[in-house]
Amino acid sequence: MKIDFKRIALSVSVVFVFISANAQMKQADIDKKVEALLRQMTLEEKVGQMTQIALDVICKGNDRYSSFTPLTLDAAEMKKAFGDYHVGSVLNTAGNRALTTAKWYELISEIQKTSSKQNVHKVPVIYGVDEVHGATYTAGATMFPQQIAQAAARNPLLVEKAAAITAYETRAGNIPWTFGPVLDLGMDPRFSRMWETFGEDPYITSTLGVAMVNGLEGKDANVGNPEKIATSLKHFLAYHTTVSGKDRTPSYISEDALREYHLPAFKAAIDAGAHTIMVNSGIINGVPVHASYPILTKLLKEELGFKGLVVTDWADIENLYRRDRIAANDKEAVMLAINAGIDMSMVPYKYEVFCDNLIQLVKEGKVKQERIDDAVRRILKVKYALNLFDKPNTNPKDYPKFGSKEFEKVSYDMAAEAITLLKNEGNILPLKKNIKVLVTGPNANSMRTLNGAWTYSWQGDAADEYTANYNTILEAVQNEIGKANVTYVPGVSYKAGGHYFEELADKMDEAIAAAKNSDVIILCLGENSYVEKPGDLNDLYLSDLQTELAKKLAGTGKPVVLVLNEGRPRLISRFEQDMKGIVQAYLPGNFGGNALADVLFGDVNPSGKLPYTYPRFPNATISYIHKPSEEQKKAEGAYNYEADYNPQYLFGEGLSYTTFVYSNLTIDKKQLKKRENLNVSVTVTNTGKRTGKEVVHLFTSDLYASSVTPDVKRLRRFEKIELAPGESKTVSFELNPADLSYTGRDGKTILEAGDFEVMVEKLKDTFTLIE
C-alpha cells in the first residue's frame, strides 16, 4: 500500500488547527466569564482572592502554626477566612505530615463546600502543595528521584512520564496545583536546595523543565483535564546565586548573567504554557525580588508576556519589612510587593494584616484598582482553566492507578538511569553475587536519606514512618545476594532528635572488625535530609566522622565501594583515592535502594551522568560554565598548581560497564551564514560486551566575543541512546543561530561573526560564522 504522507500531514495539520481554534474559543469563553465576575466583585472579595493561607490556619490547634492530630477543620476559623475575608487559596499540609488521599479529599471538599457557601459568587478555592518529586504529602503516592537525579538520567521522556504520574496522584488527593518544577540553576554546591534543581546547566534545565511542565499540565496545557494540574515555576529568578552560598541571602548578578543563564528555562516553560510562577525569596543587587518591578512586571509580565498568576514565596511580603527592611512597616511591604507585580500572597498566617492593609492601600490610591483587577483576573483565569468552578473536587475513587506497580516501575527506571558510576578501579564493579559484603555508613539503612526533603514532611524527617514497603540500600543488597552474605554495622549514624547534621560514631570499631571478614565493603555516605534554611552549611567537606570511617575501612585493605547518597556534592577529596569504586546515587527516591543494588551487582548497566561539577576543594567550586581565566593550565604557565581547573569529577561524567567509542564528528559547513543552521553528527559504537545507554553531549565554544568574555564551553544538545555490543549509531543534531549567540552587557542578544568550536566527547571541529 502506498502511504500518502502529504495527506496525512494535511489531516494532522487540520486536526492541529482545529485543536488550537478550540483552545482559543475556550480561552475567549473564560475571558468573558472572568470579566463578568470581576464587574460584580467588591474590593474586599478581590483582595481575598489574592490571599493564600496555610492549612494549619483553619485546622483545630492551639495556635495558627500547628494543628491537633487527627486533623479537623475549625468551623469558626473557616468562617472568618472564607466568609469575612473571602480567602481564595490554601496551601500545604497541616501538622507537617502526609495524609491519605481519602483524608485530602475529605479536607479539601469540605473547604470547597464551606467557602462556596460563604462566597456569593461561588468562586472555588485553589489548593496548592509542593509536589516536587511525586505527591509529596500523600501517603502511598509514588515518590520519584529528586530533580537532581532526574537530570542525571538525562531522559526527558521519563521526566515527562514521572510528572504525568505526579499530576494524576496529586489530583487523586483532590489537589489541582503544585509549586514546581524548580527551574533554578544548581550552580552552587554549597546551596541547601541544589538537589531540587536539574543541575548547573541552563539547556538541561530548559529541556527537562519543559518535559516536566508537559507531564504535569499536559502538552496542550489543558489543566481542565482532571488528570492534570497547574504548575508554578520557581523561584523566579536566579534564586541560587547568593554570595554566601546560604539560603535567602543577597545575590549580586549582572544583567547579562541573569538573562544568559537563569532566564532561558523560565522562558521555555512559560512558552510551554505554565499557568503560574513563584518568586525568588532572595535579594538581587540589593533589592528583594518580591519588591522588584523591573523583574516581576517589566521582565516577566511585559517582556516574556507571562499571562498567568504570580505567587509569592512563603511570607515574603512581610519579609520585605520584617527581614529585608526595605519597607518601614507591613503596609508599605504590601504596597511594594503588589505594585511590583505580585498577584497572590502566600501570606500564609496573618492574613488579616495583608488583606486589611491592601484594602486600605487601594482606598488611599497607593495601589491602583487596575493592579488589583489585573491580579484577580490572572487568578480567576487559572481557576477557570482548572475547571474548578464546574468541578471543584476530584475524587480518589476515580484514580485507580494511584500508587500502582505500573507507576512504581517508572520511579525505579528513573533511579536506575540516574545512578552515576564515577570510579571503577580494576573493574571492581559490578560485584559478583556469591560474595560476602559489609554494608555500612549512616545512609545504609534509611529511607529518609534516599528520598531527601519534601517527602511526607517538609524536611523529609518523617519518611521512615511511611516507607515500610520500600527497601533501604541495606535491604535491597540483602534481597540481591541473601541476608546470610550481608553484615550490617552503621559505623556512623545521624543523631536521632539532633540537628540533621549531627552525627555520632556508631560501632565504628565493630564496622572495621566486620570489614576484615568481608570480601567487599559497601560504604554508604552522604547527608541526612534537609531543605531551605535548615540545610545551610558551613563546611562542604563530608563530615569528619564519615571521613574517618572511610579511611579506617580503606585501611583494612578490603576493597571499598563508596555509595554517595547526598543532595549536593560534599567533598570527598580527603579519601577518594582510597576508594575502589564510587557510585553517586543522589536522592533516588523510594526505589533507589533497589536500583542501586541492581547497579552494584550488575543487573543494571549504569548510564547516569553528573548534572553538576563535583568539586575537589572548597575554594574551587565553579561550574563547568566558566570563563577562560578560571581554567589556567600548568603547561601554559599558570602561577601555581592551584590556579588550574581540576574538579573531582567533571560535569557530564559517568561510566558504564561497557565502553563507547566516538568517531566521525561531522559538521555540514565550515562557513556558516548568520541565518543558517548547522548540522552536526557523530557516530558512537559500543565496543564492550554489554548493552548500555550513553548520553551524547554536544558542546560549543565561541572563541572570541566582543561584549562579554565568552564561556569556555556550553552544552547545546544531548541525547541518550542505547547500543548493543558492537552496535554503532550516528546521532545528528541541528544547531540554530540562537545556540551561537550570547547576551551582551546591555542584556541584548548578540550573534557575532567569528570562529567557533564544536565538541562531542574528545572530538572537535571548528567553523566560522560569517555575515
Where does this chain bind ligand BGC (CB under 6 A)? 92, 130, 179, 234, 278, 281, 313-314, 532
Among left, alpha and beta (phi > 0; psi -120 to 50; other), residue 491 is left
Residue nearer to ligand BGC on the CB measure, 173 or 608: 173
> Smallest gap, in angstroms, from Cβ of residue 316 to ligand BGC?
9
CB 736 within 8 A of CB 674: no
Residue nearer to ligand BGC on the CB measure, 213 or 481: 213
Q: Provide the grid cell at 633.
A: 593550565
> Smallest gap, in angstroms, from Cβ of residue 146 to ligand BGC?
13
Residue nearer to ligand BGC on the CB measure, 313 or 413: 313
> Smallest gap, in angstroms, from Cβ of residue 266 to ligand BGC?
15
Q: Provide the grid cell at 712.
A: 569556555
**Which amino acid is it at 290?**
H
Please give the torsion angle defined by the CA atoms of residues 200, 201, 204 and 209, in that order, rounded to the nearest 10 degrees.
Answer: 60
Among the listed residues 188, 313, 330, 461, the single catalytic one is 313
> Smallest gap, in angstroms, from Cβ of residue 635 to ligand BGC?
45
Residue nearer to ligand BGC on the CB measure, 231 or 594: 231
> Smallest gap, in angstroms, from Cβ of residue 61 to ligand BGC?
18
> Smallest gap, in angstroms, from Cβ of residue 16 to ligand BGC?
35
Q: Starting at the edge strand that comes first in sequence, how are the strands of the sheet with 51-54 ordered?
A: 177-178, 126-129, 89-91, 51-54, 345-346
Q: Provide the grid cell at 572.
A: 570527598
> Smallest gap, in angstroms, from Cβ of residue 726 to ligand BGC?
47
Give residues with Cβ within 8 angstroms of 88, minimum separation 6.
48, 49, 50, 51, 52, 123, 125, 126, 344, 379
Tell me how far the alpha carbon of residue 507 is from its chain's centroid: 36
* Residue (of 764, 771, 646) closest to 713 by Cα position: 764
Question: Three-state secondary structure along 417-485?
Answer: HHCEEEEEHHHCCCCCCCCCEEEECCCCCCHHHHHCCCECECCCCCHHHHCCCCCCHHHHHHHHHCHHH
Residue nearer to ligand BGC on the CB measure, 179 or 660: 179
The residue with cell 517538609 is: 458
* Residue (of 435, 413, 428) closest to 657 by Cα position: 428
* Residue (of 337, 362, 421) closest to 599 by Cα position: 421
| Catalytic residue list contains 313 | yes
CB 313 within 8 A of CB 235: yes
Residue nearer to ligand BGC on the CB measure, 187 or 311: 311
Residue nearer to ligand BGC on the CB measure, 74 or 532: 532
CB 102 within 8 A of CB 394: no
Residues belonging to the active site: 313
